[in-house]
Structure 1
Amino acid sequence: MHTFHGGAVASESPEAAQAAIDIMNKGGNAVDAAVAAVAVQGVTRPFSGGIGGGGFINIYLAEENRHLILDHHTLTSAAFGPEAYVYPKTGEIYPMDVRISSGMATAVPGAPKGWEEAVEKYGNLTLAEVLQPAIEVAENGFTATPNLIREISENATRFRLFPETAKLYLDEDGNVPEVGTLIRNPDMAKTYRLVAEHGSKVFYEGEIAEAIIKTVTQPPVSENPDFAAIDEDWKEEYGVIAGNMTLEDLKNYETLTYKPLKTTYRGYDLYQTRSVSSGGITIGLALNILEQYDLKNMPRTKAMHYYIEAMRHAFADRTAYVGDPKHVATPEKGLGDKAYAVERRQLIKDNIASTAPVAPGDPWPFDEAIKAEENEQQATYKIAGTETPEKENKRPEQCTIHLTVSDKDGNVVSFTNTILFIGGNGMVVPGYGFLLNDMLLRVIPMNPPTHPDYPRPNMRPLSNMSPTIVLKDGKPVIALGSPGAETIVSTVLQTIVNYIDFDMSFPDAIATPRLTELNHEDGHTRYESLFEGQYQNPDGSDLIEELRKMGHQLLADPKKQGTGSVTAIEFFPDGKVLAVGEPIRRGGGTALVQHPTKESTQSHLAE
């Protein structure tokens, strides 16, 4: 945790945070620093994000008083459709573990074009200058942290399928390296140098593009792959599914720039992503529901009951309605209408938990968009094999990178980048050192063709990324975001509620144990096993037990790293800024500033 006057950064990686500070010391602004930091995290946190994925940049330009979202999310290929994951011999959908580690799971990456456009349009430096810190870290190496080694250990069997990945992240004997091992990635340094010299065009039309297509369409599998070690339902005959991405798909990729979604909450203005990212819409609806309750002045158990219910009802609508607006009608205005939130709130009982999953509402009467025609056709596909809790717990976690940056001129950047699951599709592009995303593994035809996330060509898949900037009276107050797939939404929401409604300090709002509600069919609200026994109300009572008395089904989430990992900045009226990283989750975060005040404390905990 650091307070300061000047530039600041909060990141999960100390190397990335230092890169952001170095870039600002060289005259770069918050945009330059953010791109530099995310490029470095592509080296030091390679299993969470990087150049092989995509994301969203939420930018506030202080001098212009301008807000914008630079959407460089991934995109399905022109040939992608409902048959992509159907095994021809049986007509069944491949098991999930087969889909994860496949060429078909990879969407067209948006990262390099997004980074380039951000720097060229809104930065002060050149892309080559901004990428230099990442080139140096990749070339010289970094020290493997306990968190990184944990991620390698949990994915080692999968990484052994692909020689290039095993060579980079396992030792010479194919075993998990030790904590403290120096990891160098000269091939990724080469990739960054090519992009620095030739721009993103080399990634989308040049030699890198050709290498990506070869990797996706002809997966580089080891000579004796042990598929059954990953999933007993992974039959030898399945092999590794090849993708259908083409050079034309890469060449045609475009970013999108638009105004963020604005939500007002108790005098604060939240600026967030809009469709196809579900984060802003879902958080906005949940806050509109919660605004109808006096959370601050009621018992904490009751307030958290309403939090769970608001999240549950908001997620029901998110799943039913949010998708790529170029392909489906999304009632964004209706979902954000406070009158609609009143309608949803009327379904919530004061002292009794609802039964999940709850049904979505009907936001169309509150919207100006044209409602899509109903389609009664149901999907007839089934997934091969069986899903079990044991498989779910063994499977790679969904993950992401988030970082937050501000500069001396008051510009603010909240930046989320992802390759989805830890390790993406598991394939390092031979000769270029970066992992490819597996953004499309869940885009399967298990819903009617009118469903927002039905498999379609040239579609941005549904996302949960929620880079957020909050203002009050026209001035930034906090900026934040998190990794964590679907849990990103509840992580950001609970941090905001902790800060605004419960009057927690910003570091406490981030560090407090979290509850996650996703409106899943199992009916469970999950709490962090990392904080078992620490869910206490202000009066000392056990929050978990009190919520159970109201009918909530609370289940410990087995993830060892906790839920989410907020990196954030708080802005004070006197011009000071507080950069905050996580104290524990995912090994702890890093908060650095250009000019620390005497009371500053280093927030990074050694991983």
Structure 2
Amino acid sequence: MRFFPTWRLSLSHALLSMLLVAGTAVAADGTPNAASPVHPSSMQQRPGHAAIASANFLATNAGLEVLAHGGNAFDAAIAVASTLSVVEPESSGIGGGFMAVLHRAKDGHDVFIDAREAAPAAVDRKAYLNADGSPNRDTALKGPLSAGIPGEPAGLVLIAKRYGRLPLQQSLAPAIRIARDGFKPDSRLRNAIAEEQKDLQRWPASVAKYLPNGKSPVEGAIWRDPDQARTLELIAAHGDDGFYRGETANKLVTAVRAAGGNWTLADLASYKAKERTPIIVNYRGYRIVTAPPPSSGGVAIAEILNILAGFDLSKMDQVQRVHYIVEAMRRAFRDHNDYLGDPDFVKMPLDMLLSPFYADGLRQGILPDKATPSSMLPRAEAAEPGMHTTHFSIIDADGNMAAVTSTVNYTMGSTFVAEGTGVLLNDEMDDFALVPNKPNVYGLLGSAANAPEGGKRMLSSMSPSIVIGADRTAVIGSPGGSTIITQVLEGILHFIDGESAQQIAAHKRFHHQYMPDEVMVEQGTFDPVTSEALTKMGYTLKQRESWGFMNVVTWDRKTNKLDAASDPRRPSGLGKVQ
């Protein structure tokens, strides 16, 4: 049956109802609600050892330390995330949020943790507009108006309560110790501070934290963060109340409002991290567990895999393989722009978007020898993809797994530190569609589904994922703004093709996000012959610097071997097997 003879989205309600499939679990083999090829409850084997891959060696070692003290993968995730807040603030922290896919080995339970930031109740879209109605990038990206209510502290507390073995004090201990005793900032952090120095200088507490003596830390210097240590200690002692109420909450609201922001104590007190049902898609005998909205990543990955299920990529040369992957990306990002948002505020046609029948119709619109122009929306120019998010992957000795992607959005978030807290606030308000069909900093377009409202969570590209096959498992994710989705997709495809963690993390990358209508290509991805052939098919190839910071852990259950790899593009990362 062919419900969608073209790639257009003019659907009647009657036709939409014909496409409904139950829940968010879909099969990419063309069968709605087909049983998963590998169900996690059948995985009785345990590795007997553990592996962690993160963006910083101090964070990886913090996670291993917690495992050595009897913690599981979820306790280790708390240790890694909180340590990254201290040593990698340019990318993530307790002033931001995260999304995580967790797999519990004892019963095969998969869950998505939504610790995404939320808009304050007093959000006013006019505050993010210039006089001519265009987006005001300064208020959207810098200072307290750019910051959503942080979700990371609540998410860490939720994980500790429901999935961890250790008390929160023990899981947060490495981060508290490092913040109090000090560490040597790596080149990425020093460069980020230097890059954002002009904006950091606008806020006295930011200067005090990041620009002591008026300049960024020098190589080899010991940097201490006593205010953040104190904030982490309060979270360790009091859980949610240590951040969202009491001393820290009062300091946050006082600082934000004094600098022109609109947070209230009620905004903080009402924030809750949430458990959601992950998206599950079957592809070539593998079960992919990935992120649902307010992430757009899992929906896009599932839609792309459903489209690709109708092709045998293994029998194609590179040109044809790239052609079909790009065309699937193009269509998924078009839907990303039109439909997705916070599921607590927006009714989304997920049953349609995740249906293999819908993918079947999209597939019919792909010509075998010609690119499809992206012409439905006005052209938008994308910014360079950012590294301003972080991802880590964990498998513990019992087979518990954590794929966690955390962010403050752009480099150094809002650049605003709330005085007395050590908390660098995010600038996630820019991830809303502040002006419909106008691009955000990553060039992504949005509709009313992602418009800002009080308490609403902005759409994200974060795509933490777990891939389970008959003999091999992978925990995977990456930073990179809108390119997160395509990086994780390509990583999944490489893993299914049999590649190692190191090969997956190191692979050259390409990306298409519908608008602008160009294929972003990392230098060295294609040889001249392939580039010429793709150009003749109608593609515009645009060279970009390398992007992403993928961290992958794999488990070969035939040999019971764990492997951990951190992206070689960034030498400060560490993938380690314990």
- For this structure pair, what is the TM-score category when the shorter chain's length is used for normalisation? 0.7 to 0.9
Q: CA deviation at 1:5?
A: 4.5
Q: CA deviation at 1:8?
A: 1.1
Q: 1:345 aligns with which of 356, 363, 367?
A: 363
Name 2:416's counterpart in structure 1. 427
Amino acid of the structure 2 residue aligned with 1:107: G
Q: CA deviation at 1:543?
A: 3.2
Q: Distance in 1 between matches of 2:128 and 2:417?
A: 22
Name 1:207's counterpart in structure 2. 247
Q: Distance in 2 between matches of 1:325 and 1:141?
A: 41
Q: CA deviation at 1:583?
A: 1.4
- 8 Å Cα contact 1:516-1:526 kept in structure 2: yes
Name 2:257's counterpart in structure 1. 217
Q: Distance in 2 between matches of 1:495 and 1:245?
A: 39
Name 1:32's counterpart in structure 2. 75
Matched, 1:95 2:136: yes
SS in 2 for 1:33: helix
Name 1:162's counterpart in structure 2. 203
SS in 2 for 1:413: strand
Name 1:227's counterpart in structure 2. none
Q: 1:506 to 1:388 in 2, by over 3 A?
A: closer
What is the percent sequence identity of the aligned residues? 32
SS in 1 for 2:552: strand
User: Greater CA deviation, 48-57 or 210-219?
Assistant: 210-219
Q: 2:274 aligns with which of 256, 262, 285?
A: 256
Name 1:479's counterpart in structure 2. 475
Q: Distance in 2 between matches of 1:267 and 1:165?
A: 50
Which string of whole-angstrom CA distances, capped at 9 and with x for unpartnered residues, describes residues 464-486 of structure 1? 1111001124x761110111111
Q: Pairwise CA RMSD of aligned residues?
A: 2.1
- 8 Å Cα contact 1:582-1:588 kept in structure 2: no
Q: CA deviation at 1:297?
A: 0.9
Q: Distance in 1 between matches of 2:431 and 2:463?
A: 19
Name 2:462's counterpart in structure 1. 465
Q: Distance in 2 between matches of 1:199 and 1:476?
A: 37
Q: Distance in 2 between matches of 1:165 and 1:545?
A: 48
SS in 2 for 1:570: strand
Q: 1:445 to 1:37 in 2, by over 3 A?
A: closer
SS in 2 for 1:292: coil
Name 2:398's counterpart in structure 1. 409
After TM superposition, the structure 1 = structure 2 runs for residues 93-492 of structure 1, keeping only pairs within 5 Å, are: 93=134, 95-172=136-213, 174-219=214-259, 242-357=260-375, 392=383, 397=386, 399-447=388-436, 451-473=448-470, 477-492=473-488
Name 1:223's counterpart in structure 2. none
Q: CA deviation at 1:167?
A: 2.2
How many residues align? The count is: 522
- 8 Å Cα contact 2:295-2:462 kept in structure 1: yes
- 8 Å Cα contact 2:53-2:551 kept in structure 1: yes
SS in 2 for 1:440: helix
SS in 1 for 2:409: strand
Name 1:48's counterpart in structure 2. 91
Q: 2:525 aligns with which of 519, 523, 535?
A: 535
Q: Distance in 1 between matches of 2:472 and 2:251?
A: 43
- 8 Å Cα contact 2:474-2:495 kept in structure 1: no
Q: 1:571 aligns with which of 546, 555, 559?
A: 555
SS in 2 for 1:421: coil
Q: Distance in 2 between matches of 1:418 and 1:304?
A: 29
Q: Distance in 2 between matches of 1:450 and 1:34?
A: 34
SS in 2 for 1:153: helix
- 8 Å Cα contact 1:272-1:468 kept in structure 2: yes
Name 2:41's counterpart in structure 1. none
Q: Distance in 2 between matches of 1:206 and 1:39?
A: 20
SS in 2 for 1:41: helix
Gaps of 5+ in 2: 1-46, 438-445
- 8 Å Cα contact 1:278-1:318 kept in structure 2: yes
TM-score (norm. length: structure 1): 0.82
Amino acid of the structure 1 residue aligned with 2:372: S
Gaps of 5+ in 1: 220-241, 361-386, 595-607
SS in 1 for 2:196: helix
Q: 1:398 to 1:171 in 2, by over 3 A?
A: same
Q: Distance in 1 between matches of 2:537 and 2:48?
A: 47
Amino acid of the structure 2 residue aligned with 1:34: A
- 8 Å Cα contact 1:581-1:591 kept in structure 2: yes
SS in 1 for 2:388: strand
SS in 2 for 1:183: coil
Q: CA deviation at 1:399?
A: 1.6
Name 2:31's counterpart in structure 1. none
Matched, 1:592 2:573: no
